[in-house]
Chain A
Amino acid sequence: MLKHLYDTDCTTWSPQGKLFQVEYAMEAVKQGSICLGLKSEKYVVLCSLKRQPSELAGFQEKQFKIDDHIGIAIAGLTADARVLCKYMRNECLQHKYTYESDHPINRLIAKIAEKSQHKTQNSSKRPYGVGLLVAGVDQDGPHLFETCPSGNYYEFKCQAIGSRSQAGRTYFESWFQLFEKSSQQQLILHGLTALKKAIMDDEELSEKNVEVGIVGVGQKFKSLSQDELKFYIKELEGFNAGDQMIVE
């Protein structure tokens, strides 16, 4: 097929104006297990589904704290994610040392984007094979960003990436107008409901395979503990997104 003629390296354009290597890198993100993020007026919540390579293995962690005010969820090549995570943590530390303040989130995302783009314009490098959902809070409030192997980044009210993420996005499209005024608890339940829509029929959400991180105004980035996860997954049974509308 024609595709194979133009996909050898990053420095070859296809006649349709595509860089196939970059597009393939974005495929790697789609292969990763789902993670999603959603934000309200005050908080951003990240929910991820952890994969277990085999019954003997542990679950692959998907979320990392970058600084007190920023956390990320990853989809794609974990090794590449670790490199970006380390870079982000270093940048935040340096900023704090020099300016005694939190690293502005959109500036950090712009730095990641620049790093990622650099890999797409080099014949001897490959793009990062990981997409990040970055949740953070600054003086303008909570923010949710998605970064891409292509070097593009976008700000979202809510977004899902990874395998079967369309199911999560469909849920968001129906209910995202409620998120702005949602409480912390409601936001987490919305996120878990969306996550549930994306899992396989024979899978179940449990405190073992779910990771939830939350950051917001007056809330440093934290990952929910096993007990908290158990509580929320139980609460899911009685949770109906529509109820929130009646209350308003």
Chain B
Amino acid sequence: MKISLAKEFDNKAHQPVAHTTSPIVTGASVVALKFRDGVIIGTDTLCSYGSMADFKDVKRIRQISKNTVIAASGDHSDFQEVVRLLGEINTEALQYDDGVSPTPRDYANYLARVQYQRRNKIDPLYLMNVIAGYYNGEQYLGLVDLYGTYIEAKTVTTGFANYFCKAIIANYWREDFSEEEARKILIECFKVVFCRDARAHDRIQISVINKDGVRIEDPIQVETRWDFQKFATKANEKLHTQ
């Protein structure tokens, strides 16, 4: 009879406890552009459950102060948590009641610190956050990713928009655009994203932030055409019938 007195040593180094490293209910691309008088930001209104287009009318742009707005692609429950965390800053400001109100940059930097801390625990908030605002006569646009990287930029894209929209923006967008011109670019971006991203939706929501504050518009349908002759005559059917 073999009695083992010594405990068997586990030679593997202790792995960090990882809770969520893969997202479940996810939002797709976000596109945001600075324009002459403010910032315009758009997302689609879809949350996917894996490959299922589960929730088709989700508000993925949230206002967090009277001059700041946040949107994100990635895990939607983590996005809701982020909105709650940033709301806590507002609650604290209310309790102090001393007229101090955080700027868009304050929110974005705070979020970057939170994301970085979570990343170090291998327990990230699985998000690409986009924070847009208008403060002190200046537009603000920032990107915070799940690692805690903090970027300020004039245009921001996340998800599939990174691959398909950066070229559109590079060629057709200019910093001194009016709101209408910037909106055209934004809608064009979402048309392309819908055509190519299998997790995208043709219903989008746009928000504009300028000196008058935040305006989150009602969702609109993106125009798409499917009546192209070759597509209609199913040119690819040949492959399937062989």
Whether B90 is near chain A, meaning CB under 8 Å from some CB there, is no
Partner of B110, one of A98, A104, A106, A110: A98
Query: Which residues on the B side are within 8 Å of A107 (C-beta)?
Result: 96, 98, 100
Q: Would you call A101 and B106 a contact (CB within 8 A)?
A: yes
Interface size class of B (residues with CB under 8 A): 10 to 19
Which residues of chain A have a CB within 8 Å of any CB of chain B? 97-101, 104, 106-107, 110, 139
A contact face: mostly helix, strand, loop, or mixed: helix
B residues apposed to A, CB below 8 Å: 96, 98-100, 102-103, 105-106, 109-110, 113, 136
Name 9 interchain pairs, CB-CB below 8 A, sorted by A: A98-B109, A99-B109, A100-B105, A101-B105, A101-B109, A104-B100, A106-B98, A107-B100, A110-B98
Residues of A within 8 A of B106 (CB): 99-101
Q: Which residue of A lies closest to B113 (CB)?
A: A98
Distance in angstroms from B148 CB to nearest chain A CB is: 12
The distance from the CB of A142 to the nearest CB of chain B, in whole angstroms, is 16
Cα distance A110–B96 when bound, in Å? 8
Given contacts A99-B106, A100-B109, A101-B106, contact A139 B100 (CB under 8 A): no
Please give me the residue from chain B that is nearest to A104 by CB atom: B100
A100 CA to B106 CA, complexed, in Å: 7
Q: Is the CB of B100 within 8 A of A101?
A: no
CB distance A139 to B136 under 8 Å? Answer: yes
Query: How close is A152's CB to chain B, nearest CB, in angstroms?
Result: 14
Q: Chain A: which residue is nearest B109 at the CB level?
A: A100
Tell me the nearest residue of chain A to B150, going by C-beta. A100
The distance in angstroms between the C-alpha atoms of A47 and B84, with both chains bound, is 45
Shortest beta-carbon contacts, A-B, top 3: A100-B109, A104-B100, A99-B106
Query: How far is B102's CA from A107's CA once the two chains are assembled, in angstroms?
Result: 12
Assess whether A99 is in contact with B98, with CB atoms less than 8 Å apart. no
Chain B residues, CB < 8 A from A99: 102, 105-106, 109-110
Contacts of A101 in B (CB 8 A): 103, 105-106, 109
> With the chains together, A7 CA to B98 CA distance in Å?
33
Give, as a whole number of angstroms, the nearest-CB distance from B238 to chain A.
Answer: 59
CA distance A106 to B109 in the complex (A): 21
Q: Which residues on A sit within 8 Å (CB–CB) of B99?
A: 106
User: CB-CB < 8 A to B110: which residues of A?
Assistant: 98-99
Question: How far, in whole Å, are A100 and B109 apart by their CA atoms in the complex?
Answer: 6
Bound-complex Cα distance A46 to B105 (A): 31
Bound complex: CA A144 to CA B148 (Å): 37
A110 to B98, CA, bound (A): 8
